[in-house]
Amino acid sequence: MSSTVSARTLREWLNDGSEIAVLDVRDGGPYSRGHILVASGVPRAVMETTVPRLLPRRSVRVVLTDEDGSTLAGAAALMEAAGYTGVHLLEGGNAGWTAAGYRLFSGSNIVSKVFGEMVEEKCGTPHVDATTLTRWREEGRPFLLFDVRPAGEYRTVSIPGASNCPGMESVLRIPSRIDDPDMPVVVNCAGRTRSIIGAQSLREAGVTNPVFALENGTMGWQLAGFEPDHGQSNTITEPMGEDLRAARESARDVAVRGGVRFVERGTVDAWLADPSRTTYVFDVRMPAAFALARFPGSQNAPGGQLVQSTDMYAAVRHARIVVVDEHLVQSVMTAHWLGRMGWDAWVLGDPLHHLTEHGDERISPLVPPDPRARAVEATALLTPVAAGEFTVVDVGESYWYRQSRIPGSRYAMRSMLSAALSPLDRSTPLVFCCSSGSQAPYAAGDALEMGFTNVSWLIGGRSAWRHAGGTTETIGNDDDELLLTPTDDMWYPPWARAEGAREAMAEYLSWEVGLADRLRTEEYLRFSGEFDFIGG
C-alpha cells in the first residue's frame, strides 16, 4: 500500500543520490503554471500508457503529487494494481510543498532549458539576431539556416529559407550540406535551448564555419516584426558514402575528447534484468528509422528532444541511460550532452547487429483497455461519421485537435469527461479519438463505466483518419460550440496562442534567460563539471 510522505522528507530524498521519480498527475495546464522543479507531468488522463515508459522498473521509489493531495489515492491504486511497489503520496500535494517553504516553478522542461543557458554561457556559443539575419539577406550575403525542431513543429511555423534537421541529426546531416568553409551556419528552434545545443554540437563536432544560434528562434523572428512561414516540409536527407564516414569520424572525435562511454549488448541485457537499478534504452534516430529496425524494447526519443525534454522521457533521477543509433553519430552526441547534464549515459556499441525489432513500439500499458469498447478502422468510419451517425469525441491534445480535428468532432479533457458527456443520452453512439489512438481506448472505457452502451474508438487516431483520406478542419478560438470542456490539458507555447501571442513570446523568452538565477536554491539539481550552476 502507498504511504504518505511530508514535503521535508521528499526534499531529503531528492538530495540522497538514490533513484527517485516525482510525478505530478494534474493536467498539463495546471502543471505548467506551477510544479515541483523535477516533477514530470503525467496527467491521470494518460497514466495508463505513459507510466510504463517513464518508470520501467516497478520497484522504483515514486512520489505522486497534485494540487492538494485530493486525487492521489486513485492514481496510486492504478499503479499499485500494475505492480508498482514503491509508490508514495506527497502530503498535501503541491500546497503542502509550498507550505513547507519550498518553491514551485512555472513552465516546462525547465532542467533542460537551464542547461542550455549554461552551455551558451560556458561554451561561448555565438548567436545572431533576426535583424542581422535579415540584413545579411538584403545584402546578398549567403548563409545556411537549419531548424532543429521535430518536423511537426517546423511545419507549424518556421523561418523563411530554413531547412529542417531535427536534433542530433544535425551532426550527421548538416556538414555534408556545407560547400563553402567561410559560409555562416545558423541554427534555430522556437526559442533558445535547442538552437544553442544544436549550434554548439556542430562546433564540437569540428565544423569550422562560423556557427551561430539564432537568438530567440522563431519567437525572436516574429517579435522583430518578420513574417514566418507555415506548412514547410524541407527536411534534409541523410548523407551517404564519404559524407557519412566523415560524420562518423567527427562523432568519434567527440567521443574521445568528451569521454563518451560505450557498452556492449550483453551488459545492456544484464542491466535491463537488474531489479535494483533503472535502465532506459532510447533510440535517438528519426521515427521512420526507429520503426524500420530498432533495439528490442527501446523507446524512440530523437536526440535533440531527449536533451531538450529529459523530464518527458526519463522521469527517474539517477537512472542509467543507454542511447542507440546505427551510425554512432546521433547517439554519441546525445550521450555527450546527457553526461554533461549529470546523467549516467552510455552508447550501445556495434549497434547494427542488434536492431532486430520492427513496427510499433512494444511497451505494455499499465492496464489493458476495456474490451467492451470496439476498435474501429478509419476507413470504416469515413462514411458514417460524415452522415452524422456517430458522435465523435476527441480526448487528445487540444492544440492538435484545434489544428486538424475530424469535422464535427467534439473535444473533452478526459479528466472532465463525466461532466462533458452527462447531457447525452446513454444510447448515443460514441466514437473516441485522439492524436495516435493511444488514449482513446481508455476514454471509451470511461464512457462504458458511465453507462453508455454503444462505444467505439478510432484505431490510429486522427493520424489514421488523415491517411485514410478523411478531411479535417481548424478552429481558432475558445467559443466553438464543439468544445465540451476547457482546453487546459496542456501547455500552449506562446506561438500557438490565439490571443496575446507576442506578449506571451516576450514573457517566455525573458523567463528562459533568467532561469539559472531562479534555480540556484534547488541544491539537489546538479550538472556535471563546468556546467554546474548551483551556488554560482
Alpha carbon distance 44, 135 (integer Å): 49
User: How crowded is residue 351: how many other Cβ atoms within 10 Å of its Cβ?
Assistant: 19
- pLDDT per residue as tens digits for the range 149-177: 999 899 989 999 999 999 899 999 999 99
Tens digit of each residue's pLDDT, the chain (536 residues): 789 999 999 999 999 999 999 999 999 999 999 999 999 999 999 999 999 999 999 999 999 999 999 999 999 999 999 999 999 999 999 999 999 999 999 988 999 999 999 999 999 999 999 999 999 999 999 999 999 999 989 998 999 999 999 989 999 999 999 999 999 999 999 999 999 999 999 999 999 999 999 999 999 999 999 999 999 999 999 999 999 999 999 999 999 999 999 999 999 999 999 999 999 999 999 999 999 999 999 999 987 899 999 999 999 999 999 999 999 999 999 999 999 999 999 999 999 899 999 988 888 999 999 999 999 999 999 999 999 999 999 999 999 999 899 999 999 999 999 999 999 999 999 999 999 999 999 999 999 999 999 999 999 999 999 999 999 999 866 678 899 999 999 988 887 787 788 888 898 888 888 888 888 889 999 899 889 887 54
Output b/e per residue, 301-330; b: 16+ Cβ within 10 A: bbbbbbbbbbbbbbbbbebbbbbbbbbbbb
Alpha carbon distance 337, 340 (integer Å): 5
- Laid out side by side, the sheet with 374-376 consists of 374-376, 455-458, 430-433, 391-394, 410-411
Residue 163 phi/psi, 5-degree rounding, is -100, 150
What are the DSSP E strand ranges found in 175-278?
185-188, 211-214, 262-263
Segment holding 344, helix H or strand E: strand 344-348
Residue 35 and residue 104 in contact, taking contact as beta carbons nearer than 8 Å: yes
Three-state DSSP state, 185: strand
> How far is CA 30 from each of CA 220, 304, 316, rounded to the nearest angstrom?
26, 26, 22
User: Which cell is 476 given?
Assistant: 481558432
**Domains contained in the chain, CATH given:** 3-108 (3.40.250.10), 113-250 (3.40.250.10), 258-354 (3.40.250.10), 374-491 (3.40.250.10)
Alpha carbon distance 191, 221 (integer Å): 10
pTM: predicted TM-score of the whole model, two decimal places: 0.94
> How far is CA 223 from each of CA 89, 139, 149, rounded to the nearest angstrom?
43, 22, 19
> DSSP code of 469?
T
Alpha carbon distance 494, 491 (integer Å): 9
User: How crowded is residue 533: how many other Cβ atoms within 10 Å of its Cβ?
Assistant: 20
